[in-house]
Chain A
Amino acid sequence: MQDELTTGYSAQAAALKGTVPGADDLRAQAMTDFGTHGFPHARAEDWRYSDLKALRANVYAPAEAPEAMPTIPASMGDTAARFVFVNGRYQEDLSDLGDLWQAASIRPLANHFTSNAARLDELVRGEDGVSLLNTALLRDGMVISVPAGVEVDDPVEIVHVMTEAAGRAAHLRHVIELGEGAKLSVFERFIGDDSAYWQNIILQARIAEGANLGHIRLQEEGASALHTAKVYANVDAVGEYRCANMTAGGKMARFEAHVRLLGEEAHATVDGVALTATGQVHDTLTHVNHVVPFATSDQIFRTVADARGKTSFAGKVTVAKDAQKTAADQSFKALVFDRTAEANAKPELEIFADDVKCSHGATVGELDAKAIFYLTSRGIDPVTARRMLVEAFTAGALERVAFDEIRDAMMDRIGTWMATRADRAIPEVREA
Chain B
Amino acid sequence: MLNIKDLHVSVGDKEIVKGLNLEIKAGETHAIMGLNGAGKSTLAAAIAGRDDYEVTSGSIEFGGKDMLALEPHERVGEGLFLGFQYPVEIPGVSNLNFLRTALNSVRKYRGEAEMSAAEFMKLVREKAKALNMDPEMLKRFVNVGFSGGEKKRNEMVQMAVLDPKLAILDETDSGLDIDALKTVAEGINTQRRKDTAILLITHYQRLLSYVQPDVVHVMIDGRIVKSGGKELALELEEKGYADVA
Chain A residues packing against B (C-beta within 8 Å):
368-371, 373-382, 384-385, 388-389, 391-393, 395-396, 428-429, 431
The answer to whether residues A388 and B72 also contact, given A370-B88, A371-B90 and a CB cut-off of 8 A, is: no
- Which residues of A sit under 8 angstroms from B91, Cβ to Cβ? 392
- Total interface residues in chain B, CB < 8 Å: 29
Q: 1/0 per position for B62-106, CB-CB distance to A under 8 A?
A: 000000000111001100001010011011110001100111011
Interface hit among B45-53, B126-134, B197-205, B237-245:
B45-53
Are A379 and B52 closer than 8 Å at their CB atoms? no
Q: Are A374 and B90 in contact (CB under 8 A)?
A: yes
Query: Which of the residues A370, A379, A392, A428 comes within 8 Å of B102, measured between beta carbons?
Result: A379
Tell which of B105, B106, B141 has the most Cβ of chain A within 10 Å.
B105
Bound form: Cα–Cα A429–B53 in Å: 10
Question: Would you mind naming 15 contact pairs between A and B with Cβ atoms under 8 Å apart?
Answer: A371-B90, A374-B87, A374-B88, A375-B102, A377-B48, A378-B158, A378-B162, A379-B76, A379-B162, A382-B71, A385-B73, A389-B90, A392-B90, A395-B92, A428-B52
B109 in the interface (beta carbon within 8 A): yes
Residue on A nearest B87 in the bound complex, by CB: A374
Partner of B73, one of A368, A382, A389: A382
Q: Indicate which residue in B11, B52, B87, B101 contacts A388 across the interface (CB closer than 8 Å).
A: B101
Report Cα–Cα, A391/B91, bound state, in Å: 11
Task: Give the chain B neighbours of A376 by CB distance below 8 A.
Answer: 71-73, 76
A424 to chain B, nearest CB (A): 16
Chain A nearest CB from B66 CB (Å) reads 18
Q: Please, which residues of chain B bring their CB within 8 A of the CB of A379? A: 73, 76-77, 102-103, 105-106, 109, 162
- Which one, B76, B92, B103, contacts A392 given CB within 8 A? B92
Pick the contact of B105 from A384, A391, A431 — CB < 8 Å?
A384
Contact between B73 and A391 (Cβ–Cβ < 8 Å)?
no
From the candidates A391, A392, A429, name the one contacting B50 in the complex (CB within 8 A). Answer: A429
User: What mask results when residues 30 to 45 of chain B are scored 1 for a CB within 8 Å of chain A, else 0?
Assistant: 0000000000000000
A373-B92 in contact (CB<8A): no
Query: CB-nearest residue of chain A relative to B101?
Result: A380
- Cβ A380 vs Cβ B102 within 8 A: yes
Q: Are B82 and A377 in contact (CB under 8 A)?
A: yes
Name the contact of B88 in the complex, choosing from A371, A380, A395 (C-beta under 8 A): A371
Choose one: B11, B51, B76, B92; the contact of A378 (CB below 8 Å). Answer: B76
Bound complex: CA of A373 vs CA of B84, how far in Å?
11
**How many residue-residue contacts, CB under 8 A, span A and B?**
78
Q: Tell me the complex Cα distance, A375–B109, Å.
A: 15
B77 to chain A: closest CB distance in Å?
Answer: 6
A384 to B11, CA, bound (A): 27
Question: With a CB–CB cut-off of 8 A, which chain A residues contact B51?
Answer: 369, 373, 428-429
* Contact status B92-A391, CB under 8 Å: yes
Contacts of A395 in B (CB 8 A): 92
Q: A392-B93, A428-B52 are in contact. Are A380 and B82 (CB under 8 A)?
A: no
- Closest 9 A/B residue pairs (Cβ): A392-B92, A379-B76, A378-B102, A374-B88, A379-B106, A376-B72, A379-B105, A376-B73, A392-B93
**Most chain B C-beta atoms within 10 Å of own C-beta, residue among A382, A384, A392:** A392
List of B residues within 8 angstroms of A391 by Cβ: 92
- How many angstroms between the C-alpha atoms of A323 and B77 in the bound complex? 59
Cβ of A116 to closest chain B Cβ, rounded Å: 47
**Is the beta-carbon distance between B105 and A381 smaller than 8 angstroms?**
yes
Q: Are A393 and B72 in contact (CB under 8 A)?
A: no
New A-B contacts (20) at CB < 8 Å, excluding given A373-B72, A378-B102: A369-B51, A374-B84, A374-B87, A374-B88, A374-B90, A375-B102, A376-B72, A377-B50, A378-B73, A378-B76, A378-B105, A379-B73, A379-B102, A380-B102, A385-B73, A388-B93, A388-B98, A392-B141, A428-B51, A429-B50
| Most chain B CB within a 10 A radius of its CB, from A368, A374, A385, A428 | A374
List the A side residues contacting B97 at CB < 8 Å. Answer: 388
Chain A residues, Cβ within 8 Å of B101: 380, 384, 388
Cβ contacts under 8 Å, B106 to chain A: 379
CB distance from A15 to the nearest CB of B (A): 52
Closest chain A CB from B97 CB (angstroms): 8
State the CA gap A235–B162 with chains docked (Å). 53
* Contact present for A375 and B82 (CB under 8 Å): no
Contact, CB under 8 Å: B98 / A377: no
User: Is the pair A373, B90 in contact by a Cβ cutoff of 8 Å?
Assistant: no
Q: Return the chain A residue nearest B52 by Cβ.
A: A429
B93 touches A373 (CB 8 A): no
> B105 contacts which chain A residues (CB < 8 A)?
378-381, 384
Chain B residues lying within 8 Å of A380, measured Cβ to Cβ, are 73, 101-102, 105
Residue in A closest to B84 when the chains form the complex, CB atoms: A374
Query: Is A389 touching B162 in the complex (CB atoms < 8 A)?
Result: no
Query: Of B72, B93, B109, B141, which contacts A377 at CB under 8 A?
Result: B72
**Do A393 and B73 touch (CB < 8 A)?**
no
Q: Are B98 and A378 in contact (CB under 8 A)?
A: yes
A290 to B173, CA, bound (A): 54
Contact yes or no, A389 B98, CB < 8 A: no
Return the chain A residue nearest B161 by Cβ. A378
